[in-house]
Amino acid sequence: MKGKIIILSAPSGTGKSTIIRRLIDRPELRLGFSISATSRAPRGEEQHGKEYYFLTSQEFSDRVEAGEFVEWEEVYPGTCYGTLKSEVERVTSEGRNLIMDIDVKGGLNVKRCFGDSALSIFILPPSLEELERRLRGRATDSDETIARRLGKAEYELGFADSYDEQVVNDDIDAAAEKVADLIKAFIKSEVISNK
Shortest spacing between CB 188 and ligand 5GP, in angstroms: 26
Of residues 8 through 27, those in contact with ligand 5GP by CB under 6 A are 9, 12
CA distance 72 to 66: 13
Under the criterion CB under 6 A, does residue 73 sit at the interface with ligand 5GP? yes
- Alpha helices for the chain (secondary structure H): 16-24, 57-65, 85-92, 104-114, 128-138, 143-157, 172-193
Residue type, 82: G
Scanning 55-63, 80-88, 117-125, 157-165 for contacts with ligand 5GP by CB under 6 A, the matching segment is 80-88
Shortest spacing between CB 107 and ligand 5GP, in angstroms: 7
Radius of gyration of the chain (CA): 16
Angle at 76 between CA 40 and CA 178, to 5 degrees: 90
Under the criterion CB under 6 A, does residue 75 sit at the interface with ligand 5GP? yes
Smaller CB separation from ligand 5GP, 24 or 191:
24
Under the criterion CB under 6 A, does residue 122 sit at the interface with ligand 5GP? no
For 193, counting Cβ atoms within 10 Å of its Cβ (0-12 exposed, 13-18 middle, 19+ buried), the class is: exposed
Scanning 99-107, 124-132, 168-176, 186-194 for contacts with ligand 5GP by CB under 6 A, the matching segment is 99-107
Q: How many CA atoms, within 13 angstroms, populate the side-chain half-sphere of residue 109? A: 13
Residue whose Cβ sits closest to ligand 5GP: 106
Smaller CB separation from ligand 5GP, 37 or 176:
37
CA distance 67 to 111: 19
Interacting residue ranges for ligand 5GP, rule: CB under 6 A: 9, 12, 36, 40, 71, 73, 75, 81-83, 101-103, 106
